[in-house]
Chain A
Amino acid sequence: MTIQFNDETFREDYSFHNSERAIKRFPFPFDNDSYMYAVNMEQHRGGPPDSVYEKRFDVDEHYVSEMRDRAMVLADDPLRCQSLPHMTLAGWDLLELIMVSKSEDYPDLFELHRDGDQWHWINKPLGIDDRFTFMDETTLPYGPMEYITRQAQGDFCVLDQRDDNLWMDAGTVTTQADWSLDFDIGMNFFEWHAPVPLAHEKGIFVRALKFLLNIQQGAPARRLNWTLTVNPLLDTSPENYHKWGVQKTTLTPENIGSKQHLRVELQTFFRLPRSNALVFPIRCYLCSFQDLMTAPKWGRRLHRVIRDLPDELATYKGFIDNRPMMLDYLSKFDDGLPTSNGIWPELDTEPPLQK
């Protein structure tokens, strides 16, 4: 299906919007009415047609505008893209993975023609048509990781694997939920997760690392994570906290439905074959509360999850102060009826709101 790309912004006038199709395919992260950390991993091998799980790297209506926003962030702050010297081979691995996946999964949008190491890449939505020599950095306008991640939605952490640990040794990170690549660069898995509350005590990270170290070629995995963001901001970085943090105080009962967004990360994990590194794409999806409320199941459930979330998590995710106002709004969409299991909206079977 051909995608109609939005012309929209994620800053200043915030003209970002989701079409009806985008709302229906939004990866709602709660599969039941309460939430706690879990190593909720599953294999990343497709999913229901037109869902965000279907393709290896989902391309949606926000693609062109998100890439424009990334270019602006990188122009303002080049440290959002870093690759330590030993990670160049992993960068080529990532370039190959994305080019092969996108050209196979979206042949009407992307083409890759390979003749030995002479590669020809066509990215129609972004108007790119480049010929280069695979593994020869001098033939690309950027390093291989930067080149391809300027053409792929979501953040990309490229993790070196050694000493039974993973190391944040390269990445392009411009759409992050309040963490900094420049701060975390070179850290290992436990170091960069140190600020997360509750999960260490539950042994989540020890188990998660063991799982990730064993991810094999041809067997990628995925999970969802989430937070809340006021205004459809992609760049909620610590570096720019002075710009976006204050926006959390602009919520009112009148504007909360359109301003408050659920921010969901589709996190995937792929073993990179030539370098034995692991790539960790973190794809950000945004949806306003009022758009979410169009699915009765999601309205009921979001109220219950936000209401019952432990204070530590609401603090860590940065919305403890606004929680009372959110609950006032969300409670109007919760009539107490039971919800079905699973994340899908079930628009045809869930009963409409009874109040």
Chain B
Amino acid sequence: MSGAEKIAVRVTEKAALNDLVTRFRFEPVAGGLLPTFSGGAHTVVEMRDGEITRLNPYSLMSDPFDQTAYTISVRRDDAGRGGSLFMHNQVNVGDEMVISNPVNLFSLDLRARKHLMIAGGIGITPFLAQIKQLDRAHGNWELHYACRSEALGSYVDYLTATHPNDVNVYYDDQDQAIDLENLLDGQPLGTHIYVCGPKGMIDWVRGKAAELGWPREAVHYEEFLAPKPGKPFEVKLAVSNKVIQVGEQESLLEAIERAGVDAPYLCRGGACGMCETRVIDYAGNFIHRDHWLEDEEHSSGEKIMPCVSRFEGKTLVLDR
């Protein structure tokens, strides 16, 4: 069985925060307590949508020490493959769902003297859990949070009310922007940077930090990619001796699983490296979308991350 351990949960709250974001609360079906976790961890939520099973990762945003429930926030993506729409439209209070044990690919570096957090949009969610963890340990942190508008500023009211001195909010529609160069320039030695948000923001922060001479180890980032839809394609699985079709709305990994082949995975967002698969033969073009493989590996045609990457062409044979 691939993936992390599973937990059966019941939805006990569904709260719309604004036009795009809805919060869900999960409690264990069996009663008792959920595992503790570390700030920055995510859970993989299984969605049974008729014939289709989707497994999407969402950051845990509740207090890591609160074992009675987990909460996640889901941003609706109308152009996506339907996972977020399923959560928004089909999931209701009282429903039973299956989620994975927490997995952390974005943990705090506990050596840091100060944690400088930079969030964009829904990227705020892992920081909500990290802030709770740090507050308990009297950790030193500061948050810079960019949102599109006041109406879409999820958790802004909560954050500014509870931490007025540590939270800085920027609204795009009011032409407010993080003054990154000055922000990074003024930090005490031993500060670590954490950034979670759209790809452009992550690249911007990492690039600026590198330019200013920040050590690579002091810059942490997490971007979960949702698998994108694309043209259907055919794949031969050499080990299991099967030929499968990958549909427009499903990922390569999902198609492999649908064929009854147990493939390893963890994050399903192109970040953890667990599903790395060897390419035996191909004629066509890869559409690599992961953060795991190096550029040379992407261009080598020898490896693919089936959770988020796709293929266009005639032949693709995988070692699976």
Contact = CB atoms under 8 A, between A and B. Distances in A.
A198 B109 CA distance: 33
Given A214-B266, A216-B4, A216-B5, A161 B107 contact: yes
A10 to B, nearest CB: 35
A162 B4 CA distance: 20
Given A89-B110, A216-B103, A275 B266 contact: no
B64 A274 contact: yes
B104 interface: yes
B272 interface: yes
- Majority secondary structure, A binding face: loop
B30 interface: no
A162 B35 contact: no
A118 to B, nearest CB: 15
B272 A274 contact: no
B149 interface: no
B274 A273 contact: no
Report which residue of A86, A216, A275 has the largest number of chain B beta carbons within 10 angstroms of its beta carbon: A216
Contacts of B64: 274
B103 A275 contact: no
Contacts of A86: 109-111
A274 B38 contact: yes
A273 B4 contact: no
B110 A219 contact: no
Interface string A63-86: 000000000000000000000011
Nearest to B111: A86
A18 interface: no
Contacts of A202: none
B35 A217 contact: yes
Interface in A16-44: none
A86 B103 CA distance: 20
A352 interface: no
A210 interface: yes
B224 interface: no
B17 to A, nearest CB: 27
Contacts of A214: 266, 272-274
A265 interface: no
Interface string A245-279: 00000000000000000000000000001111000
Given A89-B110, A163-B217, A216 B38 contact: no
Interface in A128-164: 135, 160-163
Interface in B121-152: 133, 136-137
Contacts of A87: 110
Nearest to B41: A276
B37 A273 contact: yes
Contacts of B41: 276
Given A86-B110, A89-B137, A274-B64, A217 B273 contact: no
A218 interface: yes
B35 A273 contact: yes
Nearest to B5: A218
A273 B110 contact: no
B4 A218 contact: yes
A217 B102 contact: yes
A217 B60 CA distance: 15
Contacts of B309: none
A210 B109 CA distance: 20
A160 B110 contact: yes
B107 A276 contact: yes
Nearest to B137: A89
Contacts of A135: 136
B36 A273 contact: yes
A216 B101 contact: yes
A196 B103 CA distance: 31
B264 to A, nearest CB: 9
Contacts of A160: 110
A274 B36 contact: yes
Contacts of A163: 217
Nearest to B266: A214
A276 B104 contact: yes
Interface in B21-49: 35-38, 40-41
B217 A217 contact: no
A162 B104 contact: no
Contact of A276 (B38, B136, B274): B38
22 contacts: A160-B110, A163-B217, A210-B273, A214-B266, A214-B274, A216-B101, A216-B266, A217-B5, A217-B101, A217-B102, A217-B103, A218-B4, A218-B5, A218-B101, A219-B4, A219-B5, A273-B102, A274-B38, A274-B64, A276-B38, A276-B40, A276-B107
Given A218-B101, A274-B38, A276-B104, 14 more contacts: A161-B107, A162-B217, A210-B273, A214-B266, A216-B266, A217-B4, A217-B103, A219-B4, A219-B101, A273-B35, A273-B37, A273-B38, A274-B36, A275-B110
